[in-house]
Every structure is written in structure tokens, then in C-alpha cells.
Amino acid sequence: PNAYEFSDPRPTARRLAERHTLETLECAASVGARFVVLHIGSAGPRRLVDPLETMALAGQIGSNSFVQQKLHAIREHEKAFQEAWPRVEEILLRIGEKASALGLRLGLECREDPREIPPDDFWEMILNRLPAPTFGYWHDFGHGAAKHWLGYIDHAQHLRRRASRIIGVHLHDYHPEKGDHLPLGQGIVPFHELLPLIPEGTHFSLELSPDVSADDVRASLSWWKKNPSPLPALS
């Protein structure tokens, strides 16, 4: 959960976000982890995407109302991001120094809510400002699919553009009516099209909902092993 955010305009909340993140890095290093995945904040009005989801489920993608609401949401979120980014970057750079000292890499996760940082057209900008190899892009297939469905991104194009900085992925399926974190094969994610776009050496992590049954976890692992692409082991 996003209890404390680097983007929060309140200094006290930002200090708490930084403190708890640094404690997480220490914990991760103590158990031999190699990666820590970060949610890097949010900015702009809430609930602007709710009407888009309602219209999309009603078959109104591409309608004038849908397009106007989407453009309004994008403008509001991008404006808020540009105001919030300097305070986010300041904290991330300090956290990056600590992560580097501990031998950890930080994965900046793509999130499902367009309100969360960064807006999709700003990934190149922030990755160019945050040094590799400490910082990298962490792709979430369910979140990417949700944004693809609403027309925020082209999922395949998004992966091609991020390829040089991808360090890890969260693997789960997505369906517009059922949500994300579904077992593999139970949603609409075109894995056979997208997985070949993931660079060799990327860390794969299966991230299913806590509500998923043990049988569905086993079925997801079976699906993974039967996939014709040369894929790594899942964690």
C-alpha cells in the first residue's frame, strides 16, 4: 500500500516515506535480496480514470465523451507530475546511494493508476535522470495490460522503449471485468507476443492475488513451463 509517498507535499510524510524505504533496503540486504521494487508516488486529482473504466466496459472506448475525459485526465496528471517530480527525484537519489552501497538494485514499477508517477510519456525522462545500474525499470504485465485496454499505452511499444532499462517484471494476468493479479491464462494479456520483448537476464516474479487458490498457482507454473519461449525460472 502507498502509505507514505515521496511525492507528498507534506515534508513529514516524505521523511516517513524515505525512512521506511531505507529500512526496507536494510532488511532486503540482510536476507540476500538483489532487488527492491519501488512505488515512487502519485500526483493530481483522484478518480479521473473511474469514468473511463465505466465507459470502456460499456463499449464506449473511442466515443467523444471517452476521449475528452481521457485527455482531461492526462493533462491534469502530467501537470501535477511536473510539480511533484523535483521532490521525488531528490529522495530517490539519496535512496539510490544507499541501495548502491548495499549492493541492491531499485526497480521503478509501472503502476495501474495513471495518477501514479510517472505518466507513461515521462519514463525516458526519469530513467535518464536516475543512474543505472542502481535504478531500472520494473514492468508489471497486469498494470501494463490495464493501461493498454484504456488506450494509455501500446503494451508492446511500451516494452520496446523501456527494453534497455528493464531489470525485472511482475507476472500476472489481467481482465477488464476481473482485474489484475489473475492466474496466467485467465485474462487477456498476450504473453506470447510480449514475453519475447523482455531482455535476457531480466528477473521474473509471479505476483498473484492472495485470493488465488493453490491449484491456480500450480496451473500458472505449469503454463509457464509449457510456454514455447526460452523463459527463466520464476520467483
Q: How far apart are alpha carbons 233 and 235 in whole angstroms?
A: 7
Would the pLDDT of 233 be above 90?
no
Is 125 part of a structural domain of the chain? Answer: yes
pLDDT at 229: 57
Is 233 part of a structural domain of the chain?
Answer: no
pLDDT category of residue 232 using cuts at 50, 70 and 90: low
Structural domain containing residue 186: 11-226
Note whether residue 231 is domain-resident.
no
- pLDDT exceeds 60 at position 79: yes
Tell me whether residue 6 is in a domain.
no
* 104 within some domain: yes
Q: Does the structure show a pLDDT above 70 at 230?
A: no
To the nearest whole number, what is the mean pLDDT of the chain? Answer: 95
Is residue 235 domain-resident?
A: no
Tell me if 65 is assigned to some domain.
yes
CATH number at residue 91: 3.20.20.150
Counted domains in the chain: 1
The pLDDT of residue 95 = 99
pLDDT per residue as tens digits for the range 103-129: 999 999 999 999 999 999 999 999 999
Say if 234 falls within a structural domain. no
What is the pLDDT confidence band of residue 235, given thresholds at 50, 70 and 90? low
Model confidence over 1-19: pLDDT tens digits? 688 999 999 999 999 999 9
